[in-house]
Amino acid sequence: MIAPHGSATLQARYVQDAAEREALQAAAADLPKITLNSAAAANAVMLGAGYFNPLPGYMNKADALSVAESMYTTGGLFWPVPVLNLCESAPDIAPGSQVALCDPNVPGQPVLAVQTVEAIEELSDDERELIVRNVFGTDDPEHPGVATFRGQGQVLLSGPIQVLNFSYFPQDFPETFQTAYEIREEFARRGWQRVVAFQTRNPMHRAHEELCRMAHEDLGTDGILVHMLLGKLKAGDIPADVRDACIRKMVEVYFPENTVMISGYGFDMLYAGPREAVLHAVFRQNAGCTHLIVGRDHAGVGDYYGAFDAQTIFDEQVPAGALAIEIYRADHTAWSKKLNRVVMMRDAPDHSKEDFILLSGTKVREMLSEGKAPPPEFSRPEVAEILIGHYRD
């Protein structure tokens, strides 16, 4: 199986030993407490789950700025997005001390992790904006990722963490949430060596379904990992439980057994386009995948990124050998009326726009809200039924 990124073995920050975890939980009661923002809590979950291997914890300012500018830490590790614990202030914390990190997304705000604070630093306005421009490619306050980042504070607490739990994800998504090491174990059990991952924050329509088949066949993989984001999204996006139900129904009805593995990860969407696509590749490698499908406007939002910027970044900014995982480049995929099947548009040069069944997201939401199913060439009827129920409620 493919090696993790940056290390020979996976170094998840979750405290595996139950007795050690219980002792740390008890000790955390006497530590100074900081309630994380949702982004920092999601980073803790990803560190604990092994997805952010080999990072030991939150980055310091020098690493954050270096990653933003060059996609390398000061120590030479390739990494596309700063992994930070930002807060408004930390008056009772001293470098070298431990602090209990409390979960903002669970009632009662229980301790999620314990951090050994190596440094307390403040990002200047210029430094914060450097991160914004380089990571998100825009400083527009209307960009959801930019708005979220700017609202997190400017005091940076860096240092390694020990993770005690995985927040609300195992409870809310018991059949779907998995750590990187659990996915690796499942691949081994299934005998999968070559696996292509499909990233999604949306329900899968026919085009997504067929894209997974195309990649599976073209690459000769043993299986497909449909890996969905389970964390926070912008207003208007389909909730994770609805998306989960749609994907499970599609796979159950339309894929042969032991072709697709459905899984999810506990992270908040960044909407950072190309940089987030590279991050997706990093943590899919950590989960044991050999390939990642990178499609049109991968991880994008609005009109902030070019249609294929998330592919060209791998050519222009990711150095050869920086990652072991490979990307599968997908074009816009749609149902061809001429060929009576889903195709990538680049593979149908004799087609005009009218030869495809194309529906905007706005049009699809409008139809579903009215209780109308999109054409079966666009969306499987079983999936449409679940989405109509969501919009009706």
Kindly list the catalytic residues: 201-202
Spatial neighbors of 175 by CB under 8 A, at least 6 apart, are none
Measured from the Cβ of residue 1, the count of other Cβ atoms closer than 10 Å reads: 13
- Nearest residue to 283 via CA among 270, 267, 272, 295: 267
Residue that has been written with the tokens 């927040």 in this structure: 167
Q: Cβ distance 86 to 42 under 8 Å?
A: no
Spatial neighbors of 62 by CB under 8 A, at least 6 apart, are 74
Q: Cβ distance 158 to 60 under 8 Å?
A: yes
Measured from the Cβ of residue 125, the count of other Cβ atoms closer than 10 Å reads: 8
Please give the Cα distance from 136 to 274 (Å, whole number): 8
Q: What angle do CA 340, 346, 351 make, to 5 degrees?
A: 50
Residue that has been written with the tokens 């009109």 in this structure: 303
Q: Cβ distance 215 to 28 under 8 Å?
A: no
Please give the Cα distance from 93 to 257 (Å, whole number): 53
